[in-house]
């Protein structure tokens, strides 16, 4: 039983260690986006913002009037020599934090970044405890209360064997009555 518990703990630790690696590892979409950012810096900025109108699309793919105006603003600001941070800051000042694709990782917004990992870790812990308990119950049921298989001495009738014998005798008695 201790071995199974240790295996669950090891699996939980490995899962916790794998989560940040999967989060940090570059994805194909990220590779395409970073390559597009080198070719088109306006698209790199607009792909990280959300249109503030009711369409709610990513700004780089938005076709509404507000989205087109914001795309034009980004392009004009880049041509005038402003940097990405300045452009994003001016758009956030005008439209609010809602246009960011992801909240800044500071202050209260840290909960958005940390909570999924904490919830996942708690879920793995609960799953490990439940599985450990199920495995423990199954072993007790198989081994019996005395710790031996069947719960008694080898060859000695157990309560299950006695119940089966009583049921068999009752069934035979009922069959005899029905046959008469």
Q: Is the pLDDT of residue 173 over 90?
A: yes
| Rounded average pLDDT over 7-28 | 61
Using alpha carbons, select from 21, 48, 27, 9 the residue that is nearest to residue 117: 21
Instruction: Assign 28 a pLDDT band (cuts: 50, 70, 90).
Output: very low
Q: Is the pLDDT of residue 164 over 70?
A: yes
Of 153 and 93, more confident: 93
How far is it, in rounded angstroms, from Cα 75 to Cα 81?
10
Which residues are CB-contacts of 154 (< 8 A; sequence separation ≥ 6)?
none
Report the mean per-residue pLDDT for the chain: 76
The domain in which residue 159 lies consists of 150-180
Is 74 within the bounds of a domain? yes
pLDDT at 172: 93
Is 35 within the bounds of a domain? yes
Is 80 within the bounds of a domain? yes
How many domains is the chain built from?
Answer: 2
Instruction: Please tell me whether residues 103 and 168 are part of one structural domain.
Output: no
Is 51 within the bounds of a domain? yes
Instruction: Assign 122 a pLDDT band (cuts: 50, 70, 90).
Output: very high
Q: Is the pLDDT of residue 31 over 50?
A: no
pLDDT at 37: 47
pTM for the whole structure: 0.43
DSSP 81: T
How far is it, in rounded angstroms, from Cα 68 to Cα 146?
77
CATH at residue 39: 1.10.8.640
3-state helix, strand, coil in the chain (%, to 5): 75, 0, 25
Instruction: Please tell me whether residues 81 and 162 are part of one structural domain.
Output: no
End-to-end distance of the chain based on CA atoms, in angstroms? 55
Instruction: Please tell me whether residues 31 and 93 are part of one structural domain.
Output: yes
pLDDT at 33: 47
Residue 100 dihedral angles phi and psi, to the nearest 5°: -70, 140
User: How many residues can be counted in the chain?
Assistant: 180
Is 50 within the bounds of a domain? yes
How far is it, in rounded angstroms, from Cα 78 to Cα 85?
11
Instruction: Please tell me whether residues 93 and 162 are part of one structural domain.
Output: no
Q: Is the pLDDT of residue 120 over 90?
A: yes
The secondary structure of 18-70 as a DSSP string is HHHHHHHSPPHHHHHHHHHHHH-HHHHHHTTBB-SSTT--BGGG--SHHHHHH
Is 49 within the bounds of a domain? yes
pLDDT at 16: 64
How far is it, in rounded angstroms, from Cα 102 to Cα 99?
9
pLDDT at 134: 85
Residue that finishes a domain, picked among 112, 141, 167:
112
């Amino acid at each position: 039983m201790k071995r199974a518990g240790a295996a669950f703990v090891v699996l939980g630790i490995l899962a916790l260690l794998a989560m940040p690696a999967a989060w940090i590892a570059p994805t194909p979409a990220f590779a395409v986006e970073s390559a597009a950012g080198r070719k088109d810096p306006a698209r790199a900025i607009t792909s990280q913002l959300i249109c503030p109108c009711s369409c709610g699309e990513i700004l780089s793919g938005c076709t509404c009037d507000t989205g087109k105006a914001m795309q034009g603003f980004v392009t004009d600001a880049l041509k005038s020599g402003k940097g990405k941070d300045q452009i994003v800051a001016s758009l956030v000042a005008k439209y609010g934090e809602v246009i960011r694709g992801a909240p800044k990782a500071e202050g209260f917004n840290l909960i958005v970044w940390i909570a999924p990992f904490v919830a996942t870790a708690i879920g793995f812990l609960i799953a490990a405890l439940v599985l450990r308990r199920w495995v423990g119950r199954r072993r007790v049921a198989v081994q019996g209360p005395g710790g031996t298989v069947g719960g008694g001495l080898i060859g000695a009738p157990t309560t299950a064997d006695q119940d089966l014998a009583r049921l068999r005798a009752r069934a035979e008695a009922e069959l005899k009555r029905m046959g008469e």
